[in-house]
Amino acid sequence: MLEIRHLHVSIEGNEILKGIDLTVRKGEVHAIMGPNGSGKSTLARVLAGHPSYQVTQGEVRYQDKDLLTLAPEVRAREGVFQAFQYPVEIPGVSNAYFLKAALNEQRAFRGQEELDAVDFLETLKQKMKLVEMDSSFANRPVNEGFSGGEKKRNEILQMLVLEPKLAILDETDSGLDIDALKVVASGVNRLRSPDRAILIVTHYQRLLNYITPDFVHVLVDGRIVLSGDKQLAFQLEEKGYEWVRESAAS
């Protein structure tokens, strides 16, 4: 589904990713872990097409397409979803309106009929229940005045409504209390299916207690220095990132 080869990425002339190779197949859940500043959030944003980053080398294939040449909205319509680390506020635009516009543009792209307001609201209500969001949030402006946890739930809500093929969670666990973390995890697990893939970018192992990854990769200084199964996450939790650096150096 996703194939990253020799990916080098810079921002304002500083190289952040220094040659990433990663293959993600349908149905798999991959966790990308690493210390602060290792480049893991950069990886997430580059896949979504954030305009601030320059890809200097390498390529990314997604469902046999050259992902890097696609505009951000086309990537989204092709099924790439990013749950943002810091979701922005959009004053004056209601959550429901926003999500309906997004869903209908995606449906139009796939040649599906537009969802009318009644059907949409029905779906939305259902999914809001799943992430334990009060229905009043539907009419509030996107993320405006939401608490940190509410913003993250809102990201998961959008993911459940849009039903992407490749979901990238960028530090969705940061700043969440344990209840919110469980809600987020159950949302993600609900999406898990044999024809979808999930990429979880995280600093800590604790989210992985609730979402069991098939693979864990450790990113240090713009490179994947270690890959393994979920056991690797536990080892990291126990020994810290210094241990990876040392073992990578040796």
List contacts with another protein (CB under 8 A). Answer: 48-52, 71-73, 75-77, 81-82, 84, 87-88, 90-93, 97-99, 101-103, 105-106, 109, 141, 158, 162
How far is C-alpha 62 from the chain's CA centre? 15
Phi first, then psi, for residue 245 (nearest 5°) are -55, -45
Beta carbon of residue 88, minimum distance to another protein (angstroms, whole number): 5
Q: At its nearest, how many Å lie between another protein and the CB of residue 145?
A: 14
Nearer to another protein, 93 or 248 (CB): 93
**Judged by CB, which is closer to another protein: 73, or 179?**
73
Contact yes or no for 34/218 (Cβ under 8 A): yes
Contact present, 96 and 40 (Cβ < 8 Å): no
Pick 82 or 172: Cβ nearer another protein: 82
Closest separation in Å from C-beta 238 to another protein: 35
Q: To the nearest whole angstrom, how small is the minimum distance from the Cβ of residue 102 to another protein? A: 4
Nearest alpha-carbon partner for 165 in 102, 236, 83, 77: 77
Q: Take residue 2 and report the two structure tokens written for it.
A: 């996703």
Query: Of 98 and 204, which has the nearer Cβ to another protein?
Result: 98
By beta-carbon proximity to another protein, the closer residue of 103 and 226 is: 103
The dihedrals phi and psi of 177, each to the nearest 5 degrees, come to: -80, 175
Give the helix/strand (H/E) hosting 101: helix 95-109
What the block records as the tokens of 167 is: 């979901």
**Phi, psi values for residue 52, rounded to 5°:** -75, -15
Tell which residue, 211, 250, 249, 165, has the closest CA to residue 33: 211
* Residue 75: CB minimum distance to another protein, A: 8
